[in-house]
Amino acid sequence: MVEDLLIVAAGMGTRLRARGNLKPLVEVAGKPLVEYALEAAFGAGIKRATVVTGYSANVLEPRLEALSEQKGWPIQIVYNADYKRSNGLSVLAARDHLEGKRFCLAMCDHIVEPLLYRRLLGQTYLAGEVALAVDTRLNNPFVDLGDVTKVRMSGPFIRDIGKEISIYTAFDTGVFCADDALMEAITQAGRQHGDFSISGGMKMLAAEGRALGVDVQDAFWVDVDSPDMHRLATDWVMMNQRATA
């Protein structure tokens, strides 16, 4: 059973600066993005979270500590001094805390339903395999085509991944189920190609047949990375709140 979550929350988030200076604390319908990220994972059965901070860590970390106390969520904080560089370095910063474990990886600015985690964690994986929750709804109105990371699948296997690939069959939702293999692949991609991104690591795994895609089907997700996507996310959250009231 997967019990650990890693959240990348170190970047500067310049595209969303109009909504706030620190992306993880940008509010959607009165709640910060990082709280949505944590809430979905804990709601799906995750037991512990590690959050990697960087930019304005002195502001974010006290908020995370307060959330941990208020919600009863065990949250460990790791600082990434290289936060201006590729996002995979935030994954590597947490390596010692997750070594030997299978864990979920998520982005601090993605709002997802707990159902998405359940779909991803409802599968069985071999050691050394890394799975990405993918969305095969290529007409999903909550996707920013100009910014989303695209995925080319062949059966259950990821063959290519990146924002610039021209042939794709799915979108990257930003939620992974990984083990040490992801850290090793990011390190290898950095050494061989100078690419320390998460996608760079996934490309290495894809070339070895160890990167899998799991379709989230009808589970909701949105990457809140621009003012337009912030508006869409706010509309969805408020509509969902009314539906469950």
Please list the pLDDT of the chain residue by residue as tens digits (245 residues).
899 999 999 998 777 776 778 999 999 999 999 999 999 999 999 999 999 999 999 999 999 999 999 999 999 999 999 999 999 999 999 999 999 999 999 999 999 999 999 999 999 999 999 999 999 999 999 999 999 999 999 999 999 999 999 999 999 999 999 999 999 999 999 999 999 999 999 999 999 999 999 999 999 999 999 999 999 999 999 998 877 75
Angle made by CA atoms 218, 144, 7, in degrees to the nearest 5? 70
Amino acid at 147: D
Class of the 4-244 domain? Answer: alpha beta
The domain ranges of the chain are 4-244
**Per-residue 3-state assignment (H helix, E strand, C coil) for 78-147:** EECCCCCCCCHHHHHHCHHHHCCCCEEEEECCEEECHHHHHHHHCCCCCCCCEEEEEECCCCCCCCCCCC
